Chain A
């Protein structure tokens, strides 16, 4: 059976800085993954619904506005509410180091800050997809 990792790259909130999201999206594609891009200004509800319809293995959230709280944990909460426990949730952006443990405690699987090598993200996804 052919296995293809599907990643939903989403920008929650109002912030329009999509450079990072797009660079990561391209890197994942170049690593052979299928990347579904949602565009800007997504609510957590939209992101979760899209992830379900697209049967994504991974949700990658990008926020540079500081709105990772409460938006990232909200995505995790909605997934749980819908009974989804097999989607890997990762995030990136301008995220203060002391927020990372809090995001993880809230159920975000991993957080990648500025300067993360693209390959590290690719490898992390390959090793950690839940199905």
Chain B
């Protein structure tokens, strides 16, 4: 980016600066540590200059917002045009309770919904299943049938707002319920906008909420991609997620590399079904974590956009829209402390700022009490206000990619890209993403990073305020949200009444048609829609697929 002569003179100045100024200064004031490292372990230099980015080509590597390779953002005017979507993940207890929380959030300025489901739902069990004991409504809302879905979105304008649903194993079924519930209200599926997470690879890798083995899981995902492309064109049928990979202990580099590797895997799977990349690629979306190391996170987002655009081009994408990496960000849950929980607000602020400076399309800010329990209403409101302050008061939204051109940020962006590429090569050597999962490669890499991080904290090499420095004896006084225990009983009762009321021969027929289709190779979405419309429960529908597909057993890696 600089001419040779200029670079030579900078090089000379830098050499002198090091030998004279720095040397002298260090004598008076030694540095606080021997080396400074990002959370990924990348060594950070004392100073960055044009010399560190001399190999970068502005037009090819950085470019302009809205233009390839999209390092500076996918839209030309970014937040000057439209702010990101304020999207708070929420859900607990019964569908009625969560419906109320949704309305509360919308009334306070939230612009999109994001549904958390409880564990039984994530595994495709109804609330009355023995494994559901003790889990009802604790980590999200329980949805066991179309009836629950109808209650969950009652009076919410699903044709106007978008809804993100964090669901993976049974994603196709839950999505079918959403579509069916909307249709019953007279809203056609073409009008529905939102996202299902539907990213099973990261479940095997990190979060472990899987049901079926990889092969049938990939089939179901491609089924939803294909169905969405044809009939629900405004829906993002997958949200390829690094968030959980990071929460499981991965570094920023690993999050970046593993998420994109997963993304390319889905694209290849859809291509081998015969789908046109330019038809489905615009509906792929991403979901990242925003952790503590400010600049590394920003560099990660910028590198992700560039890597995706380049990779998609290589896979044959022609339309510009197919090269866009659109992503949602959530601040890092695992960075929250149970100690002095109020200060989590400050962590969340910095992390959210990194996400915004990294060009996110939508954002969830964590609540201060989440290391202790589900967030209370007040804590959620403060979290939402954090986004609003960044958006409206800080001024960081006034120009596009304000950190573009920073020697450090550009260097780090390139470095992240290189490190990710190295991981891509290793995954390739192992035979691809699924063989690497079966060999425990990702799991081992993540477990190593998690353990190393914890040891650094224990040794005090990583400071965590309130945990290993500035520790206080304190009474923790945070109002805690309680899930109403009665809800479980009511939910089970509702399920019982539903099973009495519905036309059980219709249920049986739709389930057996699904079974036959699953044994063949048709797209399963229409069959699943029939099942949910007949009020077959989530558990019943999933059981049919369990019977045909089997269940996944994970390799154990520490």
**Interfacial residues, chain A to chain B (CB-CB below 8 A):** 13-19, 22-23, 25-27, 37, 39-41, 43, 65-67, 69-71, 74, 94-98, 113-115, 117-119
Contacts and interface: CB of A to CB of B under 8 A. Distances in A.
Interface in B147-185: none
Interface in B448-465: 450-451, 454, 458, 464
A95 B467 CA distance: 17
Contacts of A69: 134
A97 B372 contact: yes
Nearest to A66: B138
A40 B211 CA distance: 13
Contact of A118 (B133, B454, B558): B454
Contacts of A70: 133-134
28 contacts: A13-B134, A13-B135, A14-B135, A15-B119, A15-B139, A16-B207, A17-B207, A22-B450, A22-B451, A22-B558, A23-B451, A23-B454, A25-B558, A26-B447, A27-B454, A37-B558, A43-B130, A43-B131, A65-B138, A66-B138, A95-B372, A97-B338, A113-B372, A114-B336, A114-B371, A117-B468, A118-B458, A119-B458
The 7 closest A-B pairs by CB, nearest first: A16-B208, A66-B138, A14-B119, A67-B134, A96-B373, A115-B467, A114-B338
A115 B123 contact: no
Contacts of B132: 14
A96 B209 CA distance: 23
Interface in B75-127: 119-120, 122-123, 125
A27 B458 CA distance: 11
B371 A94 contact: yes
A74 B130 CA distance: 14
A73 B131 CA distance: 16
B139 A66 contact: yes
A118 B459 CA distance: 11
Contacts of B336: 114
A98 B369 CA distance: 13
Given A13-B134, A19-B249, A67 B464 contact: no
B337 interface: yes
Contact of B372 (A26, A40, A65, A96): A96
Contact of B131 (A16, A41, A113): A41
B458 A22 contact: no
Categorize the interface residue count of chain B. Answer: 35 or more
B371 A67 contact: no
Binding site secondary structure of chain A: loop
Given A14-B209, A22-B450, A115-B467, 7 more contacts: A13-B134, A13-B135, A14-B123, A16-B207, A67-B134, A74-B134, A114-B371
Contact of B119 (A39, A67, A97): A67
B480 A98 contact: yes
Contacts of B209: 14, 16
Interface of B: 119-120, 122-123, 125, 130-135, 138-139, 203, 207-209, 247-249, 334, 336-339, 370-374, 447, 450-451, 454, 458, 464, 466-468, 476, 480, 483, 554, 556, 558
Contacts of A71: 133-134
A41 B122 CA distance: 13
Nearest to A67: B134
B556 to A, nearest CB: 6
B343 to A, nearest CB: 12
Nearest to A35: B558
B554 to A, nearest CB: 8
A96 B371 CA distance: 8
Contacts of B138: 65-67
Contact of B374 (A66, A113, A119): A66
Contacts of A119: 458
B217 to A, nearest CB: 15
A74 B141 CA distance: 24
Contacts of A27: 451, 454
Nearest to A117: B458
B373 A18 contact: no
A13 B371 CA distance: 19
A14 B120 contact: yes
Contacts of B203: 16
Contacts of B458: 117-119
Contacts of B119: 13-15, 65, 67
A41 B551 CA distance: 13
A40 B421 CA distance: 32
B65 to A, nearest CB: 36
Contacts of B466: 115
B374 to A, nearest CB: 7
B444 to A, nearest CB: 11
B450 A115 contact: no
Contacts of A94: 370-373
Contacts of A19: 247-249, 334, 450
A16 B119 CA distance: 9
Nearest to B249: A19
A115 B338 contact: yes
A6 to B, nearest CB: 16
A70 B485 CA distance: 11
Contacts of B464: 115
Nearest to A41: B131
Q: Which of A19, A71, A98 has the most CB of B within 10 A?
A: A19
Q: Which of B337, B468, B558 has the most CB of A within 10 A?
A: B558
